[in-house]
Amino acid sequence: MEYQYELYQKSSKTRRYSIDLDSVHSAVTDQQAENLNEDLFRRKEDDEAVMELRKRLLGRQHNKNLAFEPTKSVDRQIEDQDNLQQDLIQNMSKLVGSLKQGAVAFQSALDEDKQVLGAAEIGIQVASQGLMDVSGKLRKYDKSKLSYLFYITVFIFMILGLVLTFIIVQLFPAL
């Protein structure tokens, strides 16, 4: 809205109200004329919209300058005001109803998201507990099976394997 207002201000500052027909640069092309016509049409529509808003805001009062319009009686004016108030009440009740429906829909979406997050939290807790159990079992296995005795036996088998390989190579050099 602010952007459109700024554009309107710029266009009103740079708007030319007269055309110098003797100037070479002031020749209006067909495209420019079409743009001017569209701009005037838009302004007329905007003016009509503003007038409608004014009428509505002022309680649909008619112009007092018109001499041929008869003055309304007090009862008629009160009835018009009551009708206007009833219209406003209906519009506001529709607005409140739609706001309530939106709030209910938003609340139900939040409840569904809460349920999904609760299920995800439970799943993460179960997976975490399973990982902790596996980690504890691996530590027990590491401490029970891979003690110093295991390392000593592996070292002895490696030395015996090297000695056996050396003996086989010395006995059968031609192979």
The answer to whether the CB of 73 falls within 8 A of the CB of 97 is: no
Mean pLDDT rounded to a whole number for the chain:
77
Domain boundaries, the chain: 76-141, 142-174
How far is it, in rounded angstroms, from Cα 175 to Cα 37? Answer: 105
The answer to whether the CB of 11 falls within 8 A of the CB of 39 is: yes
| pLDDT tens figures, 163-175 | 999 998 888 876 6
- Which pTM value belongs to this model? 0.35
Tell me what percent of the residues of the chain surpass a pLDDT of 70.
Answer: 68
What is the pLDDT confidence band of residue 150, given thresholds at 50, 70 and 90?
confident
- Residue reference for tokens 């500052």: 13
| pLDDT tens figures, 107-139 | 999 999 999 999 999 999 999 999 999 998 888
Where does residue 61 fall: left (phi above 0), alpha (psi -120 to 50 degrees), or beta otherwise?
A: beta
What is the pLDDT confidence band of residue 66, given thresholds at 50, 70 and 90?
very low
- Residue reference for tokens 């809205």: 1
Answer yes or no: is pLDDT of 140 > 90. Answer: no
Q: Mean pLDDT over residues 151-168, rounded? A: 92
Count CB neighbours of 72 within 10 A: 13
Q: Which amino acid is at 139?
A: R
